[in-house]
Chains A and B, each alone.
Chain A
Amino acid sequence: MNGPLLEIRGISKRFGGLQALEDLSFDVSKGEIVGLIGPNGAGKSTLFNTLVGLHKPTAGAVRLEGKDVTGLRPHRIAKRGMTKTFQNVALFAETSVLDNVLIGALLRESVADARATARTCLERVGLADVAEKAASDLSFPERARVEVARGLATRPKVLLLDEVMAALNRVEMEEIMVLIRSLREDGLTVIVVEHHMHAIMSLCERIVVLNFGRKIAEGSPQEISRNQEVVRAYLGREYA
């Protein structure tokens, strides 16, 4: 395939009087890890929700592998190969951890195969030993990892991770970063929304910065940390 894997073209999203996203465009190539940063309310989660079909954009287009997926229902977009994790964690709480992930795998497999896939995905995120527990019995960081496993089980081409490192300690964060890098080696493309700047800087080749629903910068971690507007809007002096 020649063009970029994911093309975001002039996406706008308006909720009543609030312009949540405004004329947002960027591309993501296969195998990239792209960071999406910005202050709270900048539109990061709204963009993710729009990409996976939970919101219909007011204007603009999303193309995956060159095919228009704008306005498709989320399950169709998942089938085409793009899914996300939920920032506030949206697991099937009363269902076992294994079955949570299994339901994701059912997108492309029979129940028996999906169960095997679910186990593999749980091993991958280091949660094989809690597979039989109810999802609601896990700690918050564990639940975030189940979200990652459930997303992986759908065999995505593009995986959108919405703050999966929230509430993690340094060791856990390091583990997740190793995991994300290994996903890329498997040919996955990842967009990461994260507030931990160290993680974003070391993980991503490219960073897109949002502020008030607009893209204010895009570039390598070095370029971003030198960008005056980004520093003013988000990073603060530490990175100047």
Chain B
Amino acid sequence: MRWWIAGVAAVALAAALPLFLDPLGYAIRVLTLALLFAALGQAWNIVGGLANQISLGHAAFFGLGAYTSTLLLIHFSVSPWLGMLAGAAIAAVAAYLLSFPTMRLRGHYFALATLAFSEVLRIIAISWSGVTGGPVGLSVPFAMEDSFALLQFRSTLPYYYIILGALVLISCVFLVIRHSALGYRLRAVKENVEAAEVIGVDTTRVKIVAAVISAALTAILGTLYAQFNYFFDPDAVFGIVPVSIRAAIVTILGGAGTVLGPIVGAFFIIPVEELANSYLSSQMAGLSQLAFGLVLIAVILVQPRGILVLIRDGVARFRRGDGA
């Protein structure tokens, strides 16, 4: 019950926050991005956190979402809301098919296989320029005025709320799964596949179901990203570093397997990245990335289980009175 209240309070706070910000400003843009990557991390968390299946290929589903809805919009004037569902369906099918070759893989082999899959899609997107626009990418057709049906707004504010809504939705999906039979079974898969099988867990099916749900949700975020950004190219949506690694890192850094993990991680990483970019990128090439990398390494060295655990330990020490 207390958690419910805390959750509702946090959402209310997030909803009220833009009232204090310039709706066309930089800060709200950074916050919207943080929400987007928190949501992406949360979708990744269903597989990576609950089952410890570390995917480095979630860009595949993100990109499928972005390309599907945008191509449907460009060629058939389909509303991105419908395109979003189409993208989710395609990503779900892709995840289902991908699960056959990757099913028996664990650990880094699984990570590499998923990474290779997303790279294949990125290369297809670059080469198949007749459809995808090739390396130049795609622009979302510009609507003359704000339109909810076309998911297009001049101000950042509506995107902020829509993406906040997506984060809340995906977090709820994560929580429902975690406390359902599926969540317990994923936990069993994470800790001991053989033991799970012997006591009746269909580990193959459990992994597929989780992967399909995670992929569909990731594709929805791909559509939202495309609409928010107006423009994207293969590297932006199928990229390993901008999408796949980020999804994994915000979650792992925050605390994998917990609902707050990706949120804490994203609201730490995205602002740090932006700060590093705005203050250091003019100094020397690569300096901002270096600073960003050093911050990540520092956090992981101090507490490999993530910022949440770091905070929890800190609070516990403070309460005992030997911290301060």
Contact = CB atoms under 8 A, between A and B. Distances in A.
Contact of A78 (B181, B184, B185, B200): B200
B179 interface: yes
Given A93-B191, A111-B179, A84 B198 contact: yes
A75 B200 contact: yes
Contacts of A75: 197-198, 200-203
Identify the 7 closest CB pairs spanning chains A and B, nearest first: A107-B200, A78-B200, A74-B197, A92-B191, A90-B195, A104-B199, A75-B202
Given A92-B192, A111-B181, A103 B187 contact: yes
Given A53-B197, A75-B202, A107-B201, 14 more contacts: A54-B197, A78-B197, A78-B199, A79-B200, A83-B199, A86-B194, A86-B198, A91-B195, A95-B191, A103-B185, A103-B187, A103-B199, A110-B181, A111-B179
Interface in A195-220: none
B308 interface: no
B95 interface: no
B188 interface: yes
Given A93-B191, A103-B185, A111 B180 contact: yes
B308 to A, nearest CB: 15
A107 B196 CA distance: 11
Contact of A99 (B184, B194, B201, B203): B184
Interface in A116-159: 150-151, 153-154
B106 to A, nearest CB: 15
Contacts of B188: 92, 95, 103
27 contacts: A53-B198, A73-B197, A74-B194, A75-B203, A86-B194, A86-B195, A90-B192, A90-B195, A91-B192, A92-B191, A92-B196, A94-B191, A95-B188, A95-B191, A99-B187, A102-B184, A103-B184, A103-B185, A103-B196, A104-B199, A106-B200, A106-B201, A107-B199, A107-B200, A107-B201, A114-B181, A150-B199
Nearest to B204: A73
B198 A83 contact: yes
Interface string A57-76: 00000000000000001110
A106 to B, nearest CB: 5
Contacts of A95: 187-188, 191
Nearest to A86: B195
B204 to A, nearest CB: 8
Given A103-B184, A106-B184, A151 B191 contact: no
A36 B180 CA distance: 38
A98 B190 CA distance: 17
Contact of A52 (B179, B181, B184, B198): B198
A188 B152 CA distance: 65
A114 B201 CA distance: 14
B56 to A, nearest CB: 23
Nearest to A101: B199
What range describes how many residues of B lie at the interface? 10 to 19
Contacts of B179: 111
Nearest to B179: A111
Nearest to A160: B198
A96 B66 CA distance: 41
Contacts of B184: 99, 102-103, 106, 111
A103 B201 contact: yes
Give the interface centre of A90, A93, A154 by most chain B CB atoms within 10 Å: A90
Nearest to A155: B200
Given A102-B184, A106-B184, A92 B197 contact: no
Give the interface centre of B184, B194, B195 by most chain A CB atoms within 10 Å: B195
Nearest to B191: A92
Interface in B194-236: 194-203
A54 B203 CA distance: 13
A26 B203 CA distance: 31
A151 B195 contact: no
A27 B196 CA distance: 27
Contacts of B203: 75
Contacts of B185: 103, 106
B123 to A, nearest CB: 36
Give the interface centre of A92, A93, A114 by most chain B CB atoms within 10 Å: A92
Given A111-B179, A111-B180, A54 B194 contact: yes
Nearest to B257: A94
A91 B194 CA distance: 10
Contacts of A114: 181
A74 B202 CA distance: 8
A122 B164 CA distance: 43
Interface in A180-236: none
Contacts of A79: 200
A103 B191 CA distance: 12
A92 B195 contact: yes
Contacts of A86: 194-195, 198
A150 B201 CA distance: 12
A37 B184 CA distance: 35
Given A92-B187, A110-B181, A83 B195 contact: no
